[in-house]
Amino acid sequence: MTAAVLSISLAGAITVGATRHGQLRGPSAPYDHSGFAEVSVATDDIVDGHASHVVAGLRSSGFWCVQARSNDRAVQIACQTPGIGADVDMIADTSGHVLYADIGLGPARSIDTARSRLDRVLDHSFLRLWPQDRAAVDQLIRDAQPTPGFFPLGGEAAPDADDQFSTHDERTANASWSLSTFYTGQPLALQIRTPDLRDRSWPRGGDHYATATSTAVAALRATGFTCASACYRARDGLQVRFTEHRDQIVAAHITLLSSATGNRTTDLSGQWIRDGIPFLECDVRTAIGLRIEECRVERKSWRGVVAGTPVEIRSVPGGLLPDGRAATGLEVSVGIPLVDVG
């Protein structure tokens, strides 16, 4: 079983999703285990070994990396670029040997942009670790490019939805590489699996910083949210969605709106934060709330680890408050989702 996504937002129903890319390209049940000591306290210090070597390269190119969680068998590492670019999710064993990695590429304006982005990530990460695999990976990317057809009248219609995505595979002594592409040849994601990969062993904790999903929904209702198939607080536009695993929240995303011109310290969204975000555990609630409130009032972005919890805060255009006043927005992510297997 992979992590499920519980979306609680203004526009959508509660939805559950398992993977990002169709065919299974990893262990079948990485989180189907019990008896391991799960640790959900995040740290900037990465386990030694190959994983540390990969992270050092990514950090040198501007990535923010954090060891999000661990257990007796493995650790989860997440590396992200500012804005929409590329993300690297990695599972390593406790000695730092890479077991699995997923490079996700954000939206790109062209095939060349996406290809350049993938090349940059690989140069600073896994081809830095395994330079002998460069020729094989380059060939994999070339093989993913479509063969030009002959269309005497010009133009080519897009294929059916089921045929718009494909996966291409290559194997080396170090790893199996699976490249997911759009029908145009644009790379979308690359999954890497090493011979040491084992099922039923990946870390899955979140209880250091977040409550159970069922508890969180009840708490949101108690603070004025309307919750049916979705939860939304109409009087100030607050939106929340969770990523959860077996009723345990592993990540939360909050959208906050504040007045663009008035006294932001009196906004209802600020009062909700100062009262204590109800689905955060007591040991982290105050510290995370203070960081969010600082960024909300000062309209600034921030990313780092607060009280052992990964937090990303982005200041964004906010549109309008429910009462029609101009607003500024804050997109807040707390925690790191589990690694999806696709």
pLDDT tens digits, one per residue of 92-120? 999 999 999 999 998 888 889 899 999 99
Look at residue 172 and tell me whether its pLDDT is greater than 90.
yes
- In the chain, what percentage of residues exceed pLDDT 90? 70
Contact 321, 301 (CB under 8 A): no
Tally of CB atoms within 10 A around 112:
10
**What pLDDT does 320 receive?**
86
94: left (phi over 0), alpha (psi -120 to 50) or beta: alpha
Close Cβ partners of 24 (under 8 Å, ≥ 6 residues apart): 341, 342
Q: Could you read off the pLDDT of 197-238 as tens digits, one per residue?
A: 999 999 999 999 999 999 999 999 998 998 876 689 999 999
Look at residue 127 and tell me whether its pLDDT is greater than 50.
yes
